[in-house]
Structure 1
Amino acid sequence: MNIGSKNKKRVVLPSRPDPPTVDQMLEDVGRAAPDDPVFSILQRTGQDSARPADGDVETRFQQCRQYLELNERLQEVRGRLLQQREELRAAGEQLESDVMEVKGQTL
């Protein structure tokens, strides 16, 4: 018997609190002082504007569009690859069958 195991007590951690709602987060941000460290960090990193610039919105929109188009193309290619895999599997089975038939004829 391990001596250390007698002294170990199981620690029960408290459950996690529910995450704040959007309204609670907005209220918290609204009550924050202008010199709150979060706002000073955002200013230093150039992220202090509440809305992205129009150019940023357009760039992100184009990136999203390209992502969706690429995702659609990938899904199409995936479907073709699955079909080709099935055709190759069927061709392999047919080849094995033909080889067995040829072997049976030569014996």
Structure 2
Amino acid sequence: MNVSLKSKKRVVLPSRPSPPSVDHILEDVSGAEPGDPVFRILQRPQQAGEAEQTFRQCRRLADVKRQLQEVEAVLLRQREHLRATGRGLDRDVAEVKSGLC
């Protein structure tokens, strides 16, 4: 058997853009919509404890996201296990049917 290996061409990726300037960042922050969750804290004075509450809420959301990703991984493994079991059952059913005929 003749197996030939093809060499892969190296893909040249575009260069990374330069980071934004301080002026550009300040322009983005000042032009943000009032409801923009990323900049909402910067656009109004903080009340006592509000920053801590916002931090806890962000932390809680990050924890929930991580838990969801873990559950997704478990469900994907279980789904594949169920599919494999289903294929095995299909083979067994076909074997039983062929033995009855």
Normalised by the length of structure 1, the TM-score is 0.56
Q: Hey, what does 2:42 align to over in structure 1?
A: 49
Q: Hey, what does 1:69 align to over in structure 2?
A: 67
CA deviations 1:29-55 (Å, max 9, x no partner) are 48x6xxx6862x34x7273628x8222
CA deviations 1:38-80 (Å, max 9, x no partner) are 62x34x7273628x82221110110010111111012112111
Gaps of 5+ in 2: 1-13, 44-49
> For 2:92 and 2:16, how far apart are their aligned partners in 1?
59
Instruction: Check 1:48–1:67 CA distance in 2 against 1; reply closer, same or farther (3 A cut).
Output: closer
Q: Hey, what does 1:80 align to over in structure 2?
A: 78
Q: Which runs of 4+ in 1 moved over 4 A?
A: none
Rg larger in structure = 1
Gaps of 5+ in 1: 1-15
User: 82, 87, 98: which one pairs with 2:96?
Assistant: 98
Q: Secondary structure at the match of 1:84?
A: helix
> For 1:25 and 1:85, how far apart are their aligned partners in 2?
52
Structural RMSD (CA): 3.2
Q: Hey, what does 1:11 align to over in structure 2?
A: none
Q: Tell me how many residue pairs correspond in the alignment.
A: 78
Q: Percent identity?
A: 12
Normalised by the length of structure 2, the TM-score is 0.59
Deviation for aligned residue 1:19 = 2.1
